[in-house]
A and B are shown apart, each in its own frame.
Chain A
Amino acid sequence: MFKRATFLLLVSVIMLAVLPLSMTVSAQNPDCEGDVTLTYWHHWGGNRIPLMEAVVAAFEDAHPGVCVNNLFLPWDNRLQNLLTAIAAGNPPDVTMFGRQDLPFFAATEQIIPLDDYMAADGITSDIFIPAEFVGNVYNGQTWMLPNPSGGALNLMFYNTDHFAEAGIEKFPETWDEMLEAAAALTQGDGSFLDRIGFNANSIAGAPAFITWLNANGQQWISDDLRTVTINNEAGVQTLEFMQGMTEINYGIEEQNAFWESAGEFDQMPIILDLVSIQSTGSWALFQLESHAEDLNYEVAAIPYGPMGSPDRRGATWGGWGFMVPKNAANPDEAWQLVSWLTTEVEGVGGCWFLQQQQRPSPIAACDGYMKDGETHHRAEAILGVAALDAVAPISPVQPEANQIVSRMVDDVLFGDKSIEQALADTEAEVQALLDAFWEEYG
């Protein structure tokens, strides 16, 4: 009498059992045989997937007995993914990691310091470009190794035809010159834009305000990451500059509306001829070279403010690196992979990966612009800009702090708060957030 019920039950049990089979996704190289399988997460999508596969295959060849399960995870939610995997005791052995996210993970010791491994392999910090290495150190220990170079150099790409039309001879050096140039380059009917000269709110890497403040000679937070330092004369000048730039673009609403619909990345506004000067990172070079044969452009450094200096321009911010979570199953082999992805110069490793994309390397011995024996024709200009950028410190509460800072800029640009009021409120708010963090974790 229970036959049918048992049958039904059986069917559902079988289905539930078959499910995991159909769901197992293995990214592992089937040819690889080894006792150790590393789980490796990265966020390099699109045309970089085959490059990363080549690097991983070369690592497997160079390290017999070690196989890599190479997983591509999307960029957003990456922190959540990582934290929950660590909490569940099932983290990857190696993961790609943003330097801007390091302070929280290091302060709570969710990842392992690499100093001992580095010492054992004879890797010292001086093989790295100093500015690229700073962001990997927290509390005197090294938690990750960088690669590639902080993509977020503040490179100003500008359309030289537009400049010639407007009669501007050289790229502006100071903020006053910048405002003048932008006013001459912006086109529209007075309420709707046709072309924007420059959008000071759209800056690669760090939040725009933090970058401009840096260019005005003021770091946004103290080196020990305990004190916020934005409510000062430099801060006032910075917001005044951003305000001036927005006024040139018919106000914040039109500037945002225009910018939102002006395309991004492959279809960058500068390629679509919708902007004359665009700030973006070194990654844009590839897009410009492959999508804009007709565009005549040059690269320059970000202009400096009244309190700034010509030798200190933009803010190098974040950048990628690789690290090992605290409860990784195979930390020793994981270190080997980290090392391959960052310090390998000879084989198909970190350096090769960058050269294929023509991106700058954080390792002095690796010339990222050198591909197939030829140096990229823009390399010199970009390296010149990079030399002027200073590293902007990243706080352990950066995602929320970024939101608060950009809200402050909006408060001013929308005219809801005076500059002084906005700076005072925001400094207090971020400071409180920071104090709460240090009280919990310090």
Chain B
Amino acid sequence: MTVAIDRATGKRRGDRAPRPGLGQRLKNGYQKYWYAYAMIAPVAVVLGVLVLYPLVYGFYLTLTDANSLNTARTIGVNHIDATYKFIGLGNYKDILFGPLSYDRFWSHFVWTIVWTVACVVLHYSIGLGLALLLNQKFRGRTFYRLVLVMPWAVPTFVTVFGWRFMLADGGIINASLHALHLPTPLWLEDTFWERVAAVMVNTWCGVPFMMLSLLGGLQAIDATLYEAAEMDGASAWQRFRYVTLPGLRSVSSTVVLLGIIWTFNQFAIIFLLFGNTGTDAQILVTWAYQLGFGQQPRDFAQSAAYGILLLAVLIVFTSFYRRWLNRNEQQLAI
């Protein structure tokens, strides 16, 4: 029995006999690959059942007017059959161009973009700054590193509540601002300050990951490159610009992509910080959740349509990002 093990068969690929017929190929293929398929079968089944089927089903729901009043449900012993009907692309039309589309979709869309850009820029720049500081040789850097990782070590759903206590009106932050005779914004009520608070909390939570990844990248840069740059009379800025940044390129492109995806999809922070209040500070993900689960009746169809639109935005963005990286001859590390 031959098992399709790449590095074993791959070498012999060149001197293979002429292509056999279809039936023979299927048979060969089966004999060769059954083991591979058997190995991925569990995950293919799981992903198929848990990801692909819901995705297709979810897409179907977006073409209907399903909500919690007309889907199949069981109340006590009575089972009520689903009565929602197919309405084509109506939901998408309503979300993107309907009369309320600005308030309901586009304002959240713009805010989501602003949120993602602001958070990732802050994550990356603060993370890089701290990584550069930690990459020096001095006493106590292990200690600093351990403390700085703390926002990542403590579960987000715990720390967000800590922030809520601090940001509450009359909490420590406003009390301190008041003591300093500075204005005390309503962090959890006023739209603008809600947004600022959300970016702040997310930055606080996200910096440690960037910092550690970039620190790993910095430590992998060959020290002799710095020596050579020094010999050529490069200034500190030039060493940073022409040695450090290019050396970090592959780590950077990966963590920035991950950061963008994670921030764009960030649910826990905004959901826990504002709950069902703060409508204008909801990004698209939490807004979609609120449509589907945070109101009565639950609007399943619209919520799912938001989900599909979000996924579409991410896929388009990621493929452009990869293309842009390929053009610059960089490889993504994932």
Do A and B interact with each other, yes or no?
no
